[in-house]
Amino acid sequence: MHAFNGKALIVIGDASETLDTLYPYYRLIEAGIQPVVTGPEARRYQMVMHEVKQGWTITKEWEGYTIQVDVPFAEVKEEEYLGIMFSGGRAPEYIRYDPDLVRITRHFFEKNKPIASVCHGVEIPAFAGCVKGRRMATVPKCQFDLEVCGGIYVNEACVLDGNLVSGRTYHDNGHYLGPWIKMLEAARAGS
């Protein structure tokens, strides 16, 4: 069992992408940072696997593993966390409207804490009004969501913009997650 020094939030809901969620979850544990899963309610959520199959023009979805939410959005005390991760999948499409998630999201941007986003995760800070003038990677079909909210779409595996690091899809996990973990470790050392 790890002795954790610091905590980071992972934002999920039903139909969060399995690799977008579990890769950062286990990387945080390796770094000695406690992953705290947050979602609309404290219950188990069904994650999914997303891929554009050969010959398809849209994403196919399969059920993945399930994951337990540790703390619901309404009970998150955001000042207790070093950083936040916005997982992808379809969850951001509906959880972004939660007023507590909007409050949480704005806190991390306003306090300049380490933020990671992948794939559809961009829809949460976009809705919360936090992406104006910010450079971000996302899945190409979310380019519109980012740009209509004033963000700048960058088609790269890892986009760093100050405290914000982002990737396009789970294929970019090995590129953008490391820099986020380093930011969290630096924040922990400075706290």
How much is the pLDDT for 3?
A: 78
Confidence of residue 139 (pLDDT cuts 50, 70, 90): very high
How much is the pLDDT for 57?
A: 81
Residues 6+ apart with CB under 8 A from 135: 151, 152, 154, 159, 161
Buried residues in 96-121 as b, exposed as e (16+ CB within 10 A): bebeebbebbebbbeeebbbbbbbbb
Indicate the number of domains in the chain: 1
Residue 93 lies in a domain: yes
**Average pLDDT for 145-169:** 98
**Average pLDDT for 5-29:** 97
Percent of the chain with pLDDT over 70: 98
Of 95, 183, 161, 40, which Cα lies nearest the Cα of 151? Answer: 161
* Residue 167, both tokens: 């990737």
The model's pLDDT over 168-184, given as tens digits with 9 standing for 90+, comes to 999 999 999 999 999 99
Dihedral sign for Cα atoms in the order 144, 150, 156, 158: negative
The model's pLDDT over 58-111, given as tens digits with 9 standing for 90+, comes to 788 889 999 999 999 999 999 999 999 999 999 999 999 999 999 999 999 999
pLDDT for residue 191 is more than 80:
no
How much is the pLDDT for 121?
A: 98
How much is the pLDDT for 114?
A: 98
The model's pLDDT over 23-73, given as tens digits with 9 standing for 90+, comes to 999 999 999 999 999 999 999 999 999 887 888 887 888 899 999 999 999
**Average pLDDT for 14-26:** 97
Residue 1 lies in a domain: no
pLDDT for residue 18 is more than 70:
yes
How much is the pLDDT for 1?
A: 59
How much is the pLDDT for 85?
A: 98
Q: Which residue has the higher pLDDT, 4 or 8?
A: 8
Residue 2 lies in a domain: no
Residue 183 lies in a domain: yes
**128: CATH:** 3.40.50.880
Residue 18 lies in a domain: yes
Residue 112 lies in a domain: yes
Residue 27 lies in a domain: yes
Q: In a 10 Å sphere around its CB, with 0-12 CB exposed, 13-18 middle and 19+ buried, how is residue 38 labelled?
A: buried
How much is the pLDDT for 2?
A: 66
Q: In whole angstroms, give the CA distance from residue 183 to residue 24.
A: 14
Structural domain boundaries, residue 98: 7-190
Residue 150 lies in a domain: yes
